[in-house]
Amino acid sequence: MSTATEQTRSGAGDRADRDTHFEVEQFYYEEAALLDDGRYADWLELLADDLDYWMPTRTNRLRRQQALSVAARGEAAFYDETRESLAWRIRRFDSGMAWAEDPPSRTRHLVTNVMVRYADPAEHDGFTEHDLWVRSAFLVYRNRLEREENVFAGSRTDLLRRTGDGRLQVARRTILLDQNILQAKNISTFF
Instruction: Give per-residue pLDDT as tens, 108-156.
Output: 999 999 999 999 999 999 999 899 999 999 999 999 888 889 999 999 9
pLDDT tier, 4 (very low <50, low <70, confident <90, very high otherwise) = very low
3-class secondary structure, 111: strand
- In angstroms, the Cα distances linking 120 to 69, 128, 143 are 26, 7, 39
pLDDT tier, 191 (very low <50, low <70, confident <90, very high otherwise) = very high
Q: Which of 183, 182, 180 is nearest to 60 (CA)?
A: 180
pTM: 0.88
**What is the torsional sign of CA 53, 58, 62, 68?**
negative
The phi and psi torsions of 157 (rounded to 5 degrees) equal -120, 120
Helical residues (DSSP H) of the chain, grouped into ranges: 18-36, 40-44, 83-95
The phi and psi torsions of 181 (rounded to 5 degrees) equal -125, 120
Rounded CA gap, 108 and 31, in Å? 11
Rounded CA gap, 83 and 86, in Å? 5
DSSP strands (E only) in the chain? 47-56, 77-81, 106-118, 132-144, 148-162, 168-177
